[in-house]
Amino acid sequence: MSIKRTTLLTLALSLSAAQPALAYVGPGAGLSLLGAFWGLIVVLFAALGFIIFWPLRRFRRRVQTSTGAGTDASAADDRKPDV
């Protein structure tokens, strides 16, 4: 027998002989686990979004400053407020 066939046969026998765990996850532990997974998913998507959108923001700002579109707004922000 080849090693690949022996490995597949061993894996099939191991999986067919497995018994159920008969474990109970209560509502508190289950909700905590779901909350942790949701947190991880949100963090991963936020990081991916920042990685994708950061160069786009820099490009947009560079285009705006080169065309002079942002000069009027910056001048209005430099004024002193009337007291």
Residue 35 lies in a domain: yes
Residue 39: per-residue pLDDT: 97
Q: Are 64 and 70 in contact (CB under 8 A)?
A: yes
Residue 75 lies in a domain: no
* Better-scored residue on pLDDT, 16 or 83: 16
DSSP type of residue 9: H
Residue 18 lies in a domain: no
Residue 19 lies in a domain: no
Residue 32 lies in a domain: yes
On the question of pLDDT at 60 being above 60, the answer is yes
Residue 49 lies in a domain: yes
0.95 exceeded by the pTM?
Answer: no
Range of the domain at 45: 26-69
Number of domains observed in the structure of the chain: 1
Instruction: At 73, list the tokens.
Output: 């707004």
Residue 56 lies in a domain: yes
